[in-house]
Structure 1
């Protein structure tokens, strides 16, 4: 073999080794890329599961808020009933106060102008005392109803606060 032939074979061998090394590097890079792809896929699946869990929690919270909303509507209807009851009680109290004032005026007029029998005066005083007692009872009932209404209103305001925070968190 001539030197020229030996150089040719030497050059071909170098070329083969170089190509073989490049192929091995390409295989390593491919394997590494496949591993990275597998890891990224696993991480994506974890993130997807996290989103699914968060979505389930949001749906649960939405259900809870809908339930709270229904409860608030019931409480609002009850409050409306209480307000109407208060208005009725207040009207009765005013009616009794007017009757008391009228009877007191009549009694004073009668005592001043006429000579009433003791029995009649006692009856009127008893009626006035009875009306005053009824008026006091109504005032107490009115005050109790107003306190219940105030507590119910505070309770509703307290229940709406987490609802506002939840809406704010959803908006963000």
Structure 2
């Protein structure tokens, strides 16, 4: 299963769960016999390049979304990751610094055990939309933020990618 968390202001991780086409023990490249079974359509092959696409409507209380590879999810649950990000998102100077903290947290202290897989993570923080409110005189005012704030991805090799 593929689990994609989104944080809500109620403190819980909202997750989109979809079937994964990953089969344990298989490398994602090579193995052409697993990708070219002439009796199966491309999306039914054991290994496929066809993505699972889900459209999820954002809620007003969604704070951020994380896209990460299995190297992160093998080390932290959705809720653990949401809690960890919340703990650091307002104290770090950038989203890439938060991603670095997550990668440091997941990185194995030795070459044995969890945390030796490659790790890639993208963190997108949502700003709250503008709201129209009336001030004491009855005039309408706009409050809040609009759009999305910075979006960064940090890869294991140290490159910082701004999207």
What range is the shorter-chain TM-score in?
A: under 0.3
In the superposition, the TM-score normalised over structure 1's length comes to: 0.20
In the superposition, the TM-score normalised over structure 2's length comes to: 0.21
Higher strand fraction: Structure 1 or Structure 2?
2
Higher helix fraction: Structure 1 or Structure 2?
1
